[in-house]
Amino acid sequence: MDVLIFLIPVALSLGLIGLAAFFWTLNNDQYEDLEGAANRILIDDEKIDK
C-alpha cells in the first residue's frame, strides 16, 4: 500500500495539469470564435511583422 503515497499524488497532479490547461485555454479566449478558428487555417502565411 506504500505505493499509494506516490501514485495518488501522481494521478492527482496529472488531472490538475489537464484542468490547468483547460483554464488556460478558457482565459485565453480560445473558445470565443470557433467558427473563425476553423476558417483561419485556410489563410496562407500571414505576413504581419508586428
The answer to whether residues 31 and 25 touch, using CB atoms and an 8 Å cutoff, is yes
Cα gap 1→36, rounded to integer Å: 51
| Shortest Cβ 48–other proteins spacing (Å) | 5
Q: How many residues bind other proteins (CB under 8 A)?
A: 26
- Based on the shown chain and the rule CB under 8 A, indicate whether residue 26 belongs to the binding site for other proteins: yes
Cα gap 39→22, rounded to integer Å: 22
- Based on the shown chain and the rule CB under 8 A, indicate whether residue 3 belongs to the binding site for other proteins: no
- Based on the shown chain and the rule CB under 8 A, indicate whether residue 18 belongs to the binding site for other proteins: yes
- Based on the shown chain and the rule CB under 8 A, indicate whether residue 10 belongs to the binding site for other proteins: no
